[in-house]
């Protein structure tokens, strides 16, 4: 398989969460790495949890990523104590 940087960038741009990730990285907001996100997706699809508790919402990057893998009726509770990030997380969600 041949993949170049331009194609990779284009494919990443198709993912709606990618824009949130780019902005977070530019603002130096800690978010999970793409590889970690991929592993998390696999684990969620395998285990099909009904409830998730996330400590440290930041900009809601991982909460959104996890929500894409949940079964109908499942819930995510996410907590953020840094007041400046809460409105950004709400807007992203």
- Check if the beta carbon of residue 57 is closer than 8 Å to that of residue 81: no
Helix, strand, or coil (residue 83): helix
Structure letter (DSSP) for residue 79: E
Checking phi first, is residue 48 left (phi over 0); if not, alpha (psi -120 to 50) or beta? left
Average pLDDT estimate for 28-57: 96
* Residue bearing tokens 């991929």: 38
Average pLDDT, the chain: 90
pLDDT grade, residue 6 (50/70/90)? confident
pLDDT grade, residue 16 (50/70/90)? confident
Residue 46 has pLDDT above 80, yes or no: yes
Average pLDDT estimate for 11-34: 86
Size of the chain, expressed as the number of residues it contains: 93
- Check if the beta carbon of residue 88 is closer than 8 Å to that of residue 59: yes
User: By CB neighbour count within 10 A (0-12 exposed, 13-18 middle, 19+ buried), where does 41 fall?
Assistant: middle
pLDDT grade, residue 68 (50/70/90)? very high
Average pLDDT estimate for 44-69: 97
């Amino acid at each position: 398989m041949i993949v170049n940087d331009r194609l990779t960038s284009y494919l990443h741009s198709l993912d709606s969460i990618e824009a949130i990730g780019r902005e977070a990285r530019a603002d130096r907001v800690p978010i999970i790495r793409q590889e970690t996100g991929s592993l998390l997706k696999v684990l969620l699809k395998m285990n099909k949890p009904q409830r998730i508790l996330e400590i440290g919402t930041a900009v809601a990057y991982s909460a959104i990523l996890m929500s894409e893998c949940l079964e109908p009726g499942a819930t995510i509770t996410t907590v953020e104590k840094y007041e400046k990030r809460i409105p950004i997380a709400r807007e992203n969600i």
